Every structure is written in structure tokens, then in C-alpha cells.
Structure 1
Amino acid sequence: MLTALQGTALYVGAVLGTGVIALPALAAATAGPASLLAWLLLVVLSAPLAATFAALGARHPDSGGVSTYARLAFGEKAAAVVGWCFYLAVPPGAAAAALFGGAYVAAAVGGGAATTAVTAALLMAAVTVTNAAGVRLAGRVQLAAAALLVTFLIVAVLVALPSADAANLRPFAPHGWDAVPAAAALLVWSFVGWEAITHLTAEFRRPDRDVPRATTAAVLLIGVLYLAVAFAVVAVLGPRAAHTEAPLGELMAAGLGGTARYPAAAAALLLTFGTMNAYYAGAAKLGAALGRDGALPAWLARGSQAGEVPRRSLAVNAGLSFLSLAVVVAAGVGAEPLVLLTTGSFVTVYAVGVAAALRLLPRRTAGRAAAVAAMAAVLLLLAMTGVYLIWALVVTGGALLYLRVAGQRTPVPISVVASSSVTPSRDSDAR
């Protein structure tokens, strides 16, 4: 069973993820120092989203995650759509994340695109093996990876800040204030992940207690780290921030010298592994739950219950991830198309999940209040995502077509999910 501390680590890996590797520099190139406002905006928007999914996970712990909430609120078709959007977003997202990490290794040791691709494939293989060993091992590995990652980011900021120059903050909005929303649209990728751990809530020892604790700790930690790194990139690198693909390496070099590209590569690998580990674990559980509920072939259903390892679903997810990597490497188009596909899918998952929360969470509760605020945040995210929602529409059509052709099976009853009361602890059950 997962503890609150391990849950915090999974959140950190899922949300902090690969956004901190490159996006501070990309946002600075778009909006200059005013990009800090975009970071602050998304930190604020992420808080009610995180609280909403924590409230849902605490009340309805099940491996189906947002798909389960959609089923309870809107029925089987909505559950299938949101489940497919999440499940089919993870492979391109994992491939993009692996390529980000591989690029840092290539920058450190050379080898160009070949090194990037090989590193990405090795990362994907390592995450697959870790999750095949079970969620308990994944949680322990994630805890260690998150601790190392947080330590590295703190050190990178602290060693770089003595080189900060207030002149780098002027002019504050060199590209105009309308560049801030454009920078925020880029940063949406950095704040996807609050829904990922909902698929693992049944694995917590005390979902009603530990999920909210893990969420609160993760929101505070992630918000502080993002803002600190973004400020350091702008204040230390100045105009150089717009021309670097490895801002963490540049920050380390500012304080420790040119050899810092090696620890920067190590940090990139940790970030990438943490992100992929959390998403592989969540997607594997989701695929099994969708097989159980009839939204995917029943062959995938094994491993949907708490404590079981969904190896069949994991194998499908890993296979699609390798396929995504192979396609973009062969086409030579890089990670950007994968990022855009993933972002559109996850914003759609957010929209359905928050709408479900408004129907499922009791009135006059903190969770319901968070859901109301989260809906405003989701509407803003949808507006920023724009045309990239097309992939989500394609996936929606695929899910509905599958249900029509395959025929909807009756979902396996899940008393834990169907109950509107808070799930008791497993220790109390045992007694």
C-alpha cells in the first residue's frame, strides 16, 4: 500500500516532470520576464484542480480514476471517452518526455539525435520494468527519485542566484502584455498530472486521509520549485534564456562552471523517469479498469483490483509508447507534435473530471468549492489549448465507435466506487 509520502512523490513526478527541463526558457523567449506571471497564474490555477481530484480520489478510490468519476456522474459513454483520452495520451506523452531527457544526455556526451533516441528507448524500458514489478516498488522508486530531484533543483537555484542581475528583469514585458497568455499556453504541459494519481488512490493505505495530505504537500512543493526555477532562469540568464535548450544546465554552469552539463543531464533523467513512472503506473491501472468495465477488451481486465499488477495493460501502454517514439524518430519531427497531442487530451480529461466532481461532491464541502473554482480554471485551459483539442475529438469518436461495434458489457460492480461514503482504512477492515 502507498503512504502519503510516497503519494506526494508520485504527484511530484507526475506534475513537476519534464516541464522544468525546457519550458522556463521557452516561456522566457515568448514573454521575457513577464513569463513569471504566466508561471504564477498556472500555479494558482493548479491548486483547485489538485484539490478537486484529491476530493474525488478520497471519496471514490478506484483504479479507473477520472473514468470512474465520469461513469458515476454521466454514464458509461462518458467513462469510456475520458478513459480513452487518458490511456491514449500517455504513449505520446511518455515518448515526448523520454526525448526531452535524451536531449540533455546528448548535450552532455554528444551523439546528437542517435543518443537522444537510444536514451529515450532505455528510459521507457526501465520504467516498464519498474512498473511490472508492482505499484509498491514503483512508489518506493518514485520516493527516492523525487527526493533526489527536489534536492538537485534546490541546489541548482541556490548556486545560480548569486549571479542574478536585476537588470535582467527589465524591460519586464519586452514583447507586450499579450505575450503572457501565449507563454501560459506553453506552460500547460508543465501542470498536467493532477489527475494521474487518481488511478492509484485505491492503492493508498488510507485514501480518505492520505490522498488529501499528499496533494496538499505536492501543490506547495511544486509551486515553490517551479517559481524558483523560473525566476532563476530569468534573473540569472537574462536574454540568454531565450536561446538555450538546457536551462538547468546553464543555471548550474553559472554557479559551478561548464562541467555542470553532466549533473544537468542526470537531473533530466531523474525528471523524465519520475514523470514516466507515475504515468505508466496510472495508465496501466486505468487500462485494466477499462477492460473490466467494457470500454476496452476484457483481456486487459486482469490487474484492475487493488494490490494486483496490471501487466497486460502495462504491456499495451509500453508498446504504444515505443511505437510513438519510433514514428517521430523516423519522421524526424521531434517531440513537439507529441506534446501538443498530449496536452489536448489531458485538458479534455480535466474538463470531464471537474464536471463530474460538480455532480458527485456534496454541496457545502471544501471539495465542492474547489470544483467550482477548478471549472473556471478548466475553461481557461480549454481556451488556451484551442486547435490541439482535435486529437481528443478523434479519440472520442474512436471510443464511441468501439462501444457501438463491440457492444457495451455490464461493468463489474465495485462497492467501493459506488459508495458515496468515505472509504474506511484497510487496517480497520482487517480488524
Structure 2
Amino acid sequence: MTSTAAHEPALPVLPAPATGAAPARVGSGAGSGAGGLTVPQGTALSVGAVLGTGVITLPALAAGIAGPASLVAWAALVVLSVPLASTFAALGARHPDGGGVSTYVRRAFGDRAAGAVGWCFYLAIPVGAPPASMMAGGYVADVVGGGRTTTLVVAASLILGTGLMNAAGLRFSGRVQLGLATVLALLMTATMAVALPHGHTESLTPFAPHGWGAVGSAAAVLVWGFAGWEAVASLAGDYRNPRRDVPRATGIAVAVVGVLYLGLAATSVLVLGPAAGSSAAPLSDLMAIALGEQARVVTAVVAVLLTIGAMNAYFAGGSRLGASLARDGALPAWLAKGSGPGEVPRRSVAVIAGSSASALALTAVLDLGMTPLMLLATGCFTLVYVLGTASALRLLERGSAGWWCAAVAFASVVALLVVNGLHALWALGVVGLSLAYQARRRRRVA
């Protein structure tokens, strides 16, 4: 849910959406529509797919895990974005298809593996929705008070409200989603501009108070803010000239995202110092230092709107994904109702909303923070990247620049899956259950 968070899963050419912000298709008109996407438009959509509402809290979470050394984790994820985004750009340029990762996994490894990718996306939503909604809740609590109680009430309201919106068939348009991502980028830029002059280099010491091993743990959490590069591939077919324009747009998007993320993370550490790791609303704290306490209200409103946009897109794309997986036999058939064009997959919406509410209730009862559920979600995202880059190694010409990018990206995301620790067992378990279910179904049909 790092998006409009970017991550609005693209409402799929199923069975797999992009984890990131809905790569909203530009409307009809001159230079628009299928085959009409320009480099500036593609860049904006790619940036929107990666910039996520998670960044409103990620700098604090990462700083809490690794201290100032969390900047190393941010830098590592930015560097990893280069081969990872390049890999999906190469796949999209050579095999333009709206299905994105699922298409490549199917071509490389077959239908069962593609179904497993769908399960990873689908089951990442219920564990990702509680921390995403709690991020917004933390900003509201920062303004009105009430601490954890307010945070949980706001989170529950967002989950329930988003579920009802989708059950009624209400969704934000792609242009609204892109507009929300633009607001986030502008907010990040403004925050850096007004707060950075208040920073102090003394805040960088001690640099690694929790040891260097904590950098890996921070990186595992930060995957939340970088999921979305696979959307580059699903957009490829919309460009006027995919082979030329996809790499250009991707390169610009990587640079923009890297500057924004690194700049905001550095600003948080330099300005907030040790308090950065314990802040529930770091953007509000930064804005308040520079502009006064009244800025907290504005930042809280923006945080809530961005979270609603991201969760709405996740629920919309995820519910359609679940219904389509069921239609194709990768999930129980009763979930397929509403999978047709123009229909509302209310059963799938109910599963996502109910599972999300249950995960939030479990978080409240066990007094958990956001990090455990975020790691479960990022484990799923990371495993999807493992499968996607592995597919690239089979589909791209061996020894080509794209193939070497895929090799580097594959090794990197495998390492990220390892540092995800025991939480990665959730993602591996999801894949195992998917393969077992599909095998059992095939035997019954046969």
C-alpha cells in the first residue's frame, strides 16, 4: 500500500494487477490512449505507481529500526530500483502486455506459477491494509489526541468505509489517483524545502546505534515504499514506441523517486534527530517545526485522503483479481461472482474487507505495531519480484543488457527476501498453498 500509494494495483488485465499505483490509463484524445502514451505521461504514471502513502511513516519506522544508518537502507533500495525497474522496462519493451508480472511468469513457468503470483498479490492486501490505515490514523491522533485508540478507530473506519465503497461499485478514476500521487510528491518536496534548513549534522551520531545488521531489517520494511516498479511492464503496451520510450520514462522515474525518497529520509533524520524513530507523524513534525503547529491539521487531512485513495485502489484491484482468479480456477469458484465486465465482485470485496478487519483486530488485541504486518506484506511483494526477475532470466536474450539487469535484480530481491526473516515464510506459505490448491483442483477436474 505504498501507493497512491502508491500502490494502487492496476485494475487488472488479470490474473495479476500491479502492486503499485494504478497505472491509470490516460484518456482518449490526441496522443492519448492505447499506443499513445508519451514519455512525460509514462514517467508520471510510473512515479505515481511507486510513491506511496507509506512514506508518511516509513522514515520514522526505518529510523526506529536502524537509526541514522537507515539512510543506507534507503540508498540501497534506490540503487536496487535501477536494475529492477530496468528489468521490467526490458520485459515491457520486448513483450508489451497489460498483464504485467503474471504474463511473464506464465510465459516462463506456466499457469500454476502465474496463479501463485495472483495469490501473493491477493493475500498481501489483508495484511497490508491495517498498517496502511494505521499510518493515517497516527496523523489524526497527532492532531486530535487519543493515541493508539484514535489510531485504531480511524484505521477501522477506513477499512470499513473502503469496503462499503467498493461493494457499492464506487472507485476513484485513474486521473484522481494520479492527482493524489502528485499531491504526495508536492508535499514531500515542500516538506524538504521548509524543514531541511532546521537540520543538524549532529543528528547523524551515533550513526548505527543498533548495529549494521539493523540496516537489513530496515531495508525489508522499506520494500513497502518501493513496490510498484512492475507497473512499468503493464504500461508498456500503451506507449507510442515501447522499445524507445519505456526505458526513457523508467530512467526518469527512478531518478525522481530516488531524489524524493532519499531527500525526505535525510531531512527526517537531520531535523528530528533521535525523535525521528519514535514519531507517529513525521511529516507533521517536520512541517510544524518550519511552519508552526497549524501545519499538522493540513498534513493530517492530506495523509487521510492519500490513504483512502490507495486503499480504495487496492480493494478495487484486489477484489477483481480475486474474482478473476476464482473464475480461472485458481481460487474457490464461489468467489468468481462479479468477475464479468462491469460487474462488482462483492464476495471478493467482502473477503478482503473482512480479512483486513480481522488482521486489524488481531493487531489491537496483541498490541502489535505496524512493522510485523508490513513485513508480511513486503514479503509477498518481494517474492513477486523474485518470480518476475526469474521470468526475465528465461525470457530475455541471455547476455543482453536487460538479462544482466535481471540477474542483478534477481540476486538482490532474493537477498531482500532473506533479510525479511521469518516473515518471508508467510509469502512462501502462500505460494505453497496456491500450488497445492491448483494441483488438487486439477486432479478433481481430471
Q: Deviations over 1:220-267 (max 9, x none)?
A: 222111111111111112222233222111111110122322122123
Distance 1:176 1:395, change over 3 A: closer
Question: Counterparts of 1:88-103 in structure 2 under 5 Å?
Answer: 88-103=123-138
Which residue identity does 1:181 align to in structure 2? G
Matched, 1:153 2:176: no
Contact 1:131 1:281 in 2 (8 A): no
Contact 2:86 2:402 in 1 (8 A): yes
Which of residues 203, 208, 224 is equivalent to 2:242?
208
1:22 deviates by: 2.2
Contact 2:203 2:273 in 1 (8 A): yes
Relative to structure 2, which stretch is displaced further, 49-58 or 348-357? 49-58
Matched, 1:2 2:36: no
1:281 & 1:2 partners in 2: Cα distance? 16
1:331 & 1:123 partners in 2: Cα distance? 20
Which of residues 328, 342, 345 is equivalent to 1:311?
345
Name the TM-score, length of structure 1 as normaliser: 0.81
Which of residues 230, 234, 242 is equivalent to 1:195?
230
Distance 1:252 1:205, change over 3 A: same
Contact 2:236 2:246 in 1 (8 A): no
Matched, 1:245 2:280: yes
Contact 1:84 1:399 in 2 (8 A): yes
Contact 1:168 1:235 in 2 (8 A): yes
User: Partner of 1:258: helix, strand, or coil?
Assistant: coil
Contact 1:63 1:285 in 2 (8 A): no
Contact 1:10 1:139 in 2 (8 A): no
Q: Deviations over 1:166-225 (max 9, x none)?
A: 222344444454443343233233222323676x64894769377656544432222111
Matched, 1:42 2:77: yes
Matched, 1:32 2:67: yes
1:214 & 1:271 partners in 2: Cα distance? 24
Task: List alignment gaps of at least 5 residues for structure 2.
Answer: 1-23, 27-36
Distance 1:143 1:186, change over 3 A: closer
1:240 & 1:12 partners in 2: Cα distance? 29
Distance 1:201 1:266, change over 3 A: same
Bigger RCO of structures 1 and 2 (CA < 8 A, at least 6 apart): 1
1:37 deviates by: 1.8
User: Partner of 1:296: helix, strand, or coil?
Assistant: coil
1:9 & 1:220 partners in 2: Cα distance? 12
2:239 & 2:337 partners in 1: Cα distance? 22
Contact 1:294 1:409 in 2 (8 A): no
1:74 deviates by: 1.0
User: Partner of 1:88: helix, strand, or coil?
Assistant: helix
Distance 1:294 1:40, change over 3 A: same
1:264 match = 299
Matched, 1:111 2:134: no
2:421 & 2:335 partners in 1: Cα distance? 33
Contact 1:344 1:392 in 2 (8 A): yes
Contact 1:63 1:286 in 2 (8 A): no
Contact 1:204 1:211 in 2 (8 A): no
Q: Deviations over 1:66-105 (max 9, x none)?
A: 2332221112222222221121112211222111111211
Distance 1:44 1:275, change over 3 A: farther
Distance 1:274 1:203, change over 3 A: farther
Which residue identity does 1:208 align to in structure 2? P
Distance 1:170 1:404, change over 3 A: closer
Which residue identity does 2:434 align to in structure 1? A
Distance 1:373 1:279, change over 3 A: farther
Contact 2:221 2:375 in 1 (8 A): no
The structure carrying a bigger helix percent of its residues is: 1
User: Partner of 1:89: helix, strand, or coil?
Assistant: helix
Distance 1:197 1:221, change over 3 A: same
1:2 deviates by: 0.3
Contact 1:132 1:314 in 2 (8 A): no
2:13 match = none
Question: Counterparts of 1:23-422 in structure 2 under 5 Å?
Answer: 23-60=58-95, 64-124=99-159, 127=162, 129=165, 137-195=172-230, 201=235, 204=238, 208=242, 215-298=250-333, 311-312=345-346, 313-314=348-349, 316-363=351-398, 365-407=400-442
2:137 & 2:185 partners in 1: Cα distance? 20
Distance 1:302 1:203, change over 3 A: farther
User: Partner of 2:420: helix, strand, or coil?
Assistant: helix
1:176 & 1:268 partners in 2: Cα distance? 32
Name the TM-score, length of structure 2 as normaliser: 0.79
Q: Deviations over 1:348-383 (max 9, x none)?
A: 111111101111223455433321221121122122
1:158 & 1:27 partners in 2: Cα distance? 21
Which residue identity does 2:321 align to in structure 1? L
Contact 1:70 1:356 in 2 (8 A): yes
Contact 1:149 1:270 in 2 (8 A): no
2:250 & 2:195 partners in 1: Cα distance? 29
Distance 1:362 1:127, change over 3 A: farther
